[in-house]
Structure 1
């Protein structure tokens, strides 16, 4: 009786991943549609409105101070330990490593560099835009505020907008942007929105950011995700250039590797193989047909004189002469004596 092993949930996940086609030809690359342009314009207007409201010390700044004096970390201290770890989902280093590991696997599986290049472009835009805004506005955080009711801008701080919030929006939102199906894009969009919302509120709970910092961080991260389709042609050219460099490097490496030398047919195993080496042609080499120069004479070879004898009858011979004294009673085999046995029949 044949029994089949029950597949676990992890086995089913890997089986579904293995069905993903290699080098898919129908990758859904988001385009800058009219709907996306409208969302980009609305988000940009919201971004400018938040900056203006903080700059003129409006009701938003007064609300920031009220939340700060409320001190949420003292109101609900039992969740403080959990939120200390949860806020790591907005730190650039750990989140970039986790997302890069997943997108790197996808790049290797689909034989394309687009996921990794898109992640690199989004993080580059994040560092440039959010970093410039932080340094340009120079707002101090709640822990370093000086004047009560002031917007604390232009005092050398780097808190506005919230980097944790913007990084959570971009890092987790890039998974939804690169999703291969509409259903996966919807689910990942909702998951990234909830994660970034939780990270932003966690920074307010811990007292490291004003509420307006979080609002501007959400807008800054969303602007980067909405602007990524404008970067797609540049990403495609970069991918083509990298693949061209890789192919050229492989071709140059194949030319540099010498061809294997085949042993002649019938040669014993382990016998040395003579490889014909190319000798550079000298301009002053002799003309073809000229008489070659004589080879140098070989050293003389000293052999034992006489015919082949038994080993016991041989005399050691050196270039100087025999080292064995002559024996008068020894008769050479080639000489005939009177004691030799006569031939029969004669």
Structure 2
């Protein structure tokens, strides 16, 4: 029977990355968040109670009520800025990719940021709302005036960037802790933008909803991300084999292997027939054309000299040795005498 300590250790043990599915609970939360998103947009467009509340908070001017925390919140709001947070989270997920031997963490981050930029960016440009510092008339919704603050990009980015860490957690306890931390950071960043006067309260509420919708929609993109991971790994292995192929198929020099570069000892090659080294016909130091050596015959293969004849060429002034000399000279003798 397992003890409580063993159960805790089993719970904390890292497991294989599980790709979440779109369950009924997640689908229900997604539908409820979509309703809240549409309600905020309609309330701002119709200049109803969200706009009135926005103006009440704006005229309260929180940055003047508590000026002592202004400097700290100027730095804290960077946790919702897209550039620094994306770099920090990408560095951590890159390390997780190396340890887990899978591209899924980086693919999830890239997909979530792409969805965030597409949805939030389109809403910002489409509705064009002005911020509190650029408001033109008290009580107006400041819509379609060329602004780009509705919904709040800082808030939505904080929800998505830090929420991805909870989405990728491998144990239930880590997922719970990461979710609480991500929620606190997103809440703090959103309220900080209201304090600084850069966003309306309805901007922040819509930013929370937009970021949560991106996180809830990620399970629908798990299958495309799995296919993208398989394709990227296949391309990587193919490029790696192509890069290693020339080194494996390098030609071997004629005359045997060469010594290492740091070995300066002279190499003695076998001497062939005629004083030439083996392979000298193929290696010409100065690059001039070199004819291959002709075959050298040994003495036993030459035509032997027999007593019946001489190898000297005939001459008209010479008398053949086989002819007998005349008796007048007294010097000759017949063959065989």
TM bucket (normalised to shorter chain) is: 0.7 to 0.9
Structure 2 CA distance for partners of 1:295 and 1:211, relative to 1, 3 Å: closer
Task: Give the structure 2 partner of residue 317 of structure 1.
Answer: none
Residue 63 (1) aligns with residue 53 (2):
yes
Residue 171 (1) aligns with residue 171 (2):
no
Structure 2 CA distance for partners of 1:65 and 1:240, relative to 1, 3 Å: same
Residue 51 (1) aligns with residue 41 (2):
yes
Structure 2 CA distance for partners of 1:78 and 1:259, relative to 1, 3 Å: same
Q: Tell me the CA shift for residue 259 of structure 1.
A: 3.7
Q: Tell me the CA shift for residue 163 of structure 1.
A: 0.2
Q: Equivalents in 2 of 1:222, 1:108: separation in Å?
A: 28
Deviation track 1:213-241 (CA, whole Å, cap 9, x = no partner) reads 00000000000000000000010001000
Q: Which runs of 4+ in 1 moved over 4 A?
A: 272-276, 294-297
Determine which of 78, 81, 97 is the counterpart of 1:91.
Answer: 81
Match of 2:178, SS state, is helix
Match of 1:209, SS state, is coil
Task: Give the structure 1 partner of residue 192 of structure 2.
Answer: 202
Q: TM-score, structure 2 length as denominator?
A: 0.72
What is the aligned length? Answer: 261
TM alignment of 1:276-287, pairs within 5 A: none
Match of 2:19, SS state, is coil
Task: Give the structure 2 partner of residue 35 of structure 1.
Answer: 25
Residue 263 (1) aligns with residue 243 (2):
no
TM alignment of 1:67-78, pairs within 5 A: 67-78=57-68
CA RMSD of aligned residues (A): 2.8
TM alignment of 1:86-165, pairs within 5 A: 86-165=76-155
Task: Give the structure 1 partner of residue 174 of structure 2.
Answer: 184
Based on CA coordinates, which of the two structures has the bigger radius of gyration?
2
Q: Equivalents in 2 of 1:275, 1:92: separation in Å?
A: 67
Task: Give the structure 2 partner of residue 232 of structure 1.
Answer: 222
Q: Tell me the CA shift for residue 28 of structure 1.
A: 1.7
Q: Equivalents in 1 of 2:226, 2:220: separation in Å?
A: 11
In the alignment, structure 1 segments of 5+ residues that lack a partner are 1-15, 279-293, 298-346
Q: Equivalents in 1 of 2:279, 2:45: separation in Å?
A: 81
Q: Tell me the CA shift for residue 251 of structure 1.
A: 1.4
TM alignment of 1:208-227, pairs within 5 A: 208-227=198-217
Q: Equivalents in 2 of 1:230, 1:204: separation in Å?
A: 33
Q: Equivalents in 2 of 1:295, 1:43: separation in Å?
A: 88
Q: Equivalents in 1 of 2:158, 2:266: separation in Å?
A: 64
Q: Tell me the CA shift for residue 254 of structure 1.
A: 2.0
Q: Tell me the CA shift for residue 46 of structure 1.
A: 0.4
In the alignment, structure 2 segments of 5+ residues that lack a partner are 1-8, 270-277, 283-290, 295-337
Q: Equivalents in 1 of 2:250, 2:228: separation in Å?
A: 34
Match of 2:144, SS state, is coil
Task: Give the structure 2 partner of residue 337 of structure 1.
Answer: none
Deviation track 1:76-125 (CA, whole Å, cap 9, x = no partner) reads 00000000000000000000011001000000111110000110000000
Q: Equivalents in 2 of 1:50, 1:272: separation in Å?
A: 89
Structure 2 CA distance for partners of 1:79 and 1:271, relative to 1, 3 Å: same
Q: Equivalents in 1 of 2:228, 2:175: separation in Å?
A: 25
Q: Tell me the CA shift for residue 206 of structure 1.
A: 0.1
Q: TM-score, structure 1 length as denominator?
A: 0.70
